[in-house]
Amino acid sequence: MLFVLVTGCAAGDSAPSDRMMELDMEYQGPITLWNRSQFPLDQVRVHRLPSYAGAPNRLSAPLAPGAAVVIELSGANRVTIIRGKVEGGREWAISTPRPVSATSHLFVLVVFDDGFLEASFDEVSALDGFPLEAPPRLPEDDASDDA
Amino acid sequence: MRRTAVCFIVSLGVLAPSSASAEDDGVWSHLRDLLGGVELTWMSGRAEVSAEAETGSGDLLTVAGGDAAQRGFAISLYGPPKRSGLILAPALGYLSQRILLADFEQLVTQPAPPFGEPLSGACSFPDTGQPAPCSTVNSYALSLESIRTGLRMGYEWRLPYTWGVLIGSASAVGYVLEYRSMGVDLGPDQSGTAAGWTGFESFEVGAAFGVYWPRWHLAVRAQISAGEYGSFEFSTKPEFMGRTICAGDFNRCSRERAYVSETSLSSSGLSLGVVWVL
């Protein structure tokens, strides 16, 4: 009987934790995307479902190798980049296998030729070639500047 | 780009009409003596392939090494010897070869990153939505066509019997003028082409033996040969995955992008063939 109670407590504890994780993954706000692949990125799409079809492109221009860009996440954030598989070749999409675990504007998603790395701004800002000097600004930062 | 081939060459010679009618037509007789006959050659075997490519930083890399299948055919002028001795004859021919390397993908092992959480990619084609493997397959398929003319020099011998004539030769062919068209397919999406005239770029050496049946105007011979083809620049340079490079700050490795800029071929062969008689 005691065993059943303990088990019940454990199950009860895990549910809020899962919800917290889900909430964490629903971060809405800016992050940095750093292209460390050898290819220019034609598109970056953020989407809730595994399929990226129909998701808008977040880039205003192709992102060159080594360049970084600030993109806005809008919750349940799966990221897909689209580029030519080879120069002049067929379009090729590489998606994160799950929503990225961004929780703040200090999150950096590094794009490689065949995958990604989740990192923080502090971890990458000192690396050679990182093009940004400061993390993306939050709307409240802009508001306080205005005040 | 370099290719070393072990090929089987089986030749079937279809000869010009016999000399019985030559007295009636002096021009035809001279022409027949000059050309000898038409030889159709089938080639099949194995080849070793390597390619040189240029990276974005200008380094030249050897890429695409490996065994390759080779097949092709040639049409050329050839006449069996009328007597044993030295020969000096014109050479004119068409060659078509195809070399296939199915895949020589180099798997890149990723070390653990010094920080952060790696995420493997899920790859697909945006136009269809179909999933696809993220690894890049490097495959190599070379098509070569050549129309060429030159001179054949060497020694030929013949041993007549009642049922036919045994023939043999050891010769070298230098091609004075050649029109060559090459195409190379790298992976499923990339191709490069090269075409143009060249001179004194290719030659072949070889030894052959066979049988000649004068009354049927037919000969069959097998050949061991080696050939050298000059270098050719690609007008469109196909992209290729080169050496593995690692970014130290991330401990991340990938195949470096490279572009095949030119190709040169060489082949050497040992006859191990199947004879096909028309």
**What is the ipTM metric for this complex?**
0.77
Phi, psi (deg, nearest 5) at residue B79: -130, 140
Q: Where are the domains of chain B?
A: 2-268
Say whether pTM exceeds 0.80. no
Beta-bridged to residue B185, according to DSSP, are B141, B191
List all residues 6 or more positions away from B186 whose beta carbon is below 8 Å from its beta carbon: B64, B138, B139, B140, B192, B238, B239, B240, B260
pLDDT in tens, A18-42: 444 444 458 899 999 999 999 999 9
User: Residue B20 has what pLDDT?
Assistant: 45
| B62 and A CB contact within 8 Å | no
Structure tokens that stand for B212 in this block: 């000649």
Residue range A26-128 forms a domain whose CATH class is: mainly beta
Report the residue of chain B nearest A113, measured CA to CA. Answer: B254
Select from B107, B119, B250, B257 the residue whose CB has the most chain A CBs within 10 Å, as the one to mutate to test that interface: B119
Contact state of A96 with B119 under an 8 Å Cβ cutoff: yes
Q: Which residue blocks in chain A are alpha helix, DSSP H?
A: 2-24, 121-124, 139-146
Say if the Cβ atoms of A85 and B136 lie within 8 Å: yes
- Chains A–B, number of C-beta pairs less than 8 Å apart: 101
Pairing of strands A28-35, A107-111: parallel
**Are A73 and A102 a contacting pair, CB within 8 Å?**
yes
A42/A44 Cα distance (integer angstroms): 7
CA distance B264 to chain A (A): 24
Hey, is the C-beta of A116 within 8 angstroms of any chain B C-beta? yes
Name the pairing type of β-strands B252-268 and B239-247: antiparallel
Give residue limits of the domains in chain A: 26-128
How far, in Å, CA of B256 to CA of A108, rounded?
24
Q: What is the largest CA-CA distance in chain B?
A: 91
Integer Cα distance of B17 and B251 in angstroms:
73
| A119 vs B contacts (CB less than 8 Å) | 115-117
The alpha carbon of residue B112 is apart from the nearest alpha carbon of chain A, in Å, by 11
Q: What is the DSSP string of B106-129?
A: -PPPPPPPSSSEEEE-EEE-TTT-
Mean pLDDT by 10 residues, chain A (147 residues): 38 42 69 95 94 93 96 90 85 94 94 94 92 83 64
Least confident stretch, B2-11, B136-145, B192-201, B222-231: B2-11
A78-84 vs A91-95, strand pairing mode: antiparallel
